[in-house]
Structure 1
Amino acid sequence: METATRIRTLSLAASVIAISLLHYLTPLQLPYLHDIFQRLYYLPIILSGLWFGFRGGLFCALFVSILYAPHILYQWGGHPGMEMEKYLEILLYNTVGTVTGMLSQRERERTGELQKSSRELTESYRKLQEQSAETIIIEEQLRRAEKLSTLGEMAAVLAHEIRNPLSSIRGTAEILRDDYPTGTPKHEFIDIQIRETERLNRVVEEFLHMARQQPMAMKPCRVQDELETIVTLVMNDARKRQVALQLQPNAVAMIVMADSEKLRQAFLNIIINALQATPEGGRVTISTTIAEHAFCEIRFRDSGPGVEKAAMERIFEPFFTTKSDGTGLGLAITKNIIENHKGTLKVESEAANGTTVTIRLPLQRTQPGEAT
């Protein structure tokens, strides 16, 4: 910007000086040329007003007047009529420079006001978008809170009306099963009954976890240690499924404030889902990293068939599941746990390209080699 201003200033000064030299060097016997040179002064004066505003136009007009006045005095002094005409021309120079500069400056000020208004409108629009996004999130949280409130009211009834009879049914079935040898149809039917009873009991348990907000015992937890514990627990299941389960090492001790039991529950839900979704010979990879110097980012990546777009929109809804024997509460519980830890949970998936679950938790401190 400064370079452009300097170039413009030098160009204007050079043009004024060049026109003045033409005046001084051209004989008076060629008055028509002097008339042309006299009019040429208007070009730098008008340009100066357009480029530099009121002051620019006025200063350029004064500069022209200073250079042009000696020419009038010493070369046209013997022609009073001509001399008066030239002085009136100088007055016109200053008038044109002043008016042009004022109009240009006013236009620039108006343009500046419009640009300022445009920036303010853009900023207001951006804030409205942010507020709209926050409002949508809050509304979604309120809807989830209403659902959880309803679930909480039902939880006590379910606990009494379902869990106790289930225990009696299972106990009775186990006694009856002993009366029939293994391999007989009745023994197999009773086995199915026991398994279904266990599944129903698991649904009730998960439902109760979902509905009741249990108090959390927050303490510093080393994320890598919690993941190692869960991987050790599910490694046998991974081998049976012939799925490679890998936890990538990380030398940085990422510490978060968390309820370690609930955090392990969230990790376990995700890893089990990943193992169940991955076919034989597939792979489940877990990695950790620091994101934006303030969050611990944990990624669970599987090589399964992925989740279709229609199902992706509902995966966090309670009781929605794509599994024949699923309860539809695992991811809903997991999301609830992570959000209670002031974290975020995101699922990215494409059909036939696997699924990636990303958890972000706020870091307490990040010091290599530190253990809890």
Structure 2
Amino acid sequence: MKRANIVRLVVPAVFILGISLLHYLTPLHLPMLHDIFQRLYYLPIILAAFWFGLRGGLVSSIVVSIMYAPHVLFQWGVHPSLELEKYLEILLYNIVGGVTGLLSQREVARREELHKTARGLEDSYKKLQSQADLVIEIEEQLRRAERLSVLGELSAVLAHEIRNPLGSIKGTAEILKDSFRPGESNYEFLEILLKETDRLNRVVEDFLGLARPLQVERATCDIMAELNEIVTLISTEAAARGVSIELNPAELPAVHGDREKLRQAFLNLLMNGLQATGRGGKLTVSASCPGPAEESPAVVELSFADTGEGIEPDRLNRIFEPFFTTKPDGTGLGLAITQKIVESHGGSIQVASEKGKGTTFTVRLPV
């Protein structure tokens, strides 16, 4: 029994016992005091009824009747008219206890009903809020799909109007390059022209890859093996930049996905982290299977964390938008393509960043 309930039981009992003692110990030639004590019995009855409802009110009134009846019978019995009045008072005790307890019980039931209604409204509000968030997310996906649709319409024009002239420019530059020797200024200019032509061609390829529908060839894919290969691939460039790479291995189940597309997504994230991390920094790749150990994992979670400068909060929610970039020479397509690859596998990608402490990309792929 709770301490509060014990106190509520003790208080009326002490009241009833104390008032009864006052009755029995007070001489009968002081009827005014007995009248006062007689009225005091209503206090424990009302308290018990208020705290314990109908049962409390009736029990306390019955106890009062039992305690008070001998006093009436043996001490006031010589006065029949007074005795009748006091028996009527006992009847009134039980009526007050019953009525007060019933009203209190109804009030408690009404209060509980109001609490239940409030909880139901709170749950409904939470559901509405979650549905509103879902609607906002779907609207954002629709807006993104609309932007990609516009890009898709432009892709056909770009394929013809940009790639073909680029091929001609590159071929002409290679022919002219053979006419000069290494070290000559014209030779260096033509090398720059070829380099920028290749860069522009990559931008067009990325743009077309983002615009057209992504074809995913499903097969069993060992995620840890892919990460090991990619980390080995970029380790030379990381060493040249003075950045250390740490891969935390884990036992992961196989993922059913497109190996080449996933490699491209992971490479984009690692190169972004590498370029964002200054000399002496660190790039950490971690893998895990969140969820209870006794159950089969539903997703594989990959984390790509760097110790770079981080991203400003006002830019953080735009980094997956096409053509939005924080790098001077970036195209703003790498992360948009990465998100498209991950989502085409039924997964999700999230980013968390703190200015001056670094950025973490978290990829979740279904098993």
What's the TM-score once normalised by structure 2's chain length?
0.91
Structure-1 separation of matches of 2:24 and 2:248: 86
Residues 214 and 344 of structure 2 are in contact (CA less than 8 Å); yes or no, is this contact kept in structure 1?
no
Aligned-partner SS, 1:291 = coil
Paired residue for 1:95? 95
Match of 1:347 among 331, 345, 351: 351
Residues 252 and 289 of structure 2 are in contact (CA less than 8 Å); yes or no, is this contact kept in structure 1?
no
Structure-2 separation of matches of 1:17 and 1:305: 76
Match of 1:329 among 329, 333, 336: 333
Aligned length: 362
Q: By how many angstroms is 1:132 displaced?
A: 1.0
Structure-1 separation of matches of 2:68 and 2:306: 85
CA offsets 1:274-314 (integer angstroms, 9 cap, x no match) = 11222233221211223344432222122222223333232
Matched, 1:246 2:250: no
Paired residue for 2:52? 52
Alignment of 1:297-336 (within 5 A): 297-336=301-340
Identity %: 58
Structure-2 separation of matches of 1:254 and 1:281: 34
Matched, 1:31 2:31: yes
Paired residue for 2:295? none
Aligned-partner SS, 2:289 = strand
CA offsets 1:230-269 (integer angstroms, 9 cap, x no match) = 112212222232322221233x234333222111111000
Paired residue for 2:279? 280
Paired residue for 1:369? none
Residues 62 and 94 of structure 1 are in contact (CA less than 8 Å); yes or no, is this contact kept in structure 2?
yes
User: What is the Cα-based RMSD across aligned positions, in Å?
Assistant: 2.1
Residues 209 and 337 of structure 2 are in contact (CA less than 8 Å); yes or no, is this contact kept in structure 1?
yes
Q: By how many angstroms is 1:27 displaced?
A: 4.0
Structure-2 separation of matches of 1:308 and 1:346: 15
Residues 243 and 274 of structure 2 are in contact (CA less than 8 Å); yes or no, is this contact kept in structure 1?
yes
Paired residue for 2:268? 269
Q: By how many angstroms is 1:124 displaced?
A: 1.3
1:106–1:269 CA distance, 2 compared to 1 (3 A): same
Structure-2 separation of matches of 1:285 and 1:195: 31
CA offsets 1:70-123 (integer angstroms, 9 cap, x no match) = 322232222011101101211221232123223322322222222122111211
Residues 224 and 254 of structure 1 are in contact (CA less than 8 Å); yes or no, is this contact kept in structure 2?
no
Structure-1 separation of matches of 2:38 and 2:249: 84
Matched, 1:141 2:145: no
Paired residue for 1:358? 362
Kindly provide the amino acid, as one letter, of the partner of residue 286 in structure 1.
V
Alignment of 1:205-216 (within 5 A): 205-216=205-216
CA offsets 1:23-68 (integer angstroms, 9 cap, x no match) = 3444434434432332221111010111011232123212222332
Q: By how many angstroms is 1:171 displaced?
A: 1.5
Structure-2 separation of matches of 1:184 and 1:351: 45
Structure-1 separation of matches of 2:358 and 2:106: 62
Q: Unpaired runs of 5+ in structure 1?
A: 365-372
Structure-2 separation of matches of 1:353 and 1:5: 54
Kindly provide the amino acid, as one letter, of the partner of residue 322 in structure 1.
T
Structure-2 separation of matches of 1:4 and 1:336: 60
CA offsets 1:186-214 (integer angstroms, 9 cap, x no match) = 11111111111111110111112111222
Kindly provide the amino acid, as one letter, of the partner of residue 361 in structure 1.
L
Kindly provide the amino acid, as one letter, of the partner of residue 235 in structure 2.
M
1:278–1:2 CA distance, 2 compared to 1 (3 A): closer
> Greater shift after overlay, 125-134 or 289-298?
289-298
Structure-1 separation of matches of 2:197 and 2:307: 32
Aligned-partner SS, 1:314 = coil
Paired residue for 1:368? none
Structure-2 separation of matches of 1:22 and 1:276: 90
What's the TM-score once normalised by structure 1's chain length?
0.90
- Deviant stretches of 4+, over 6 Å: none
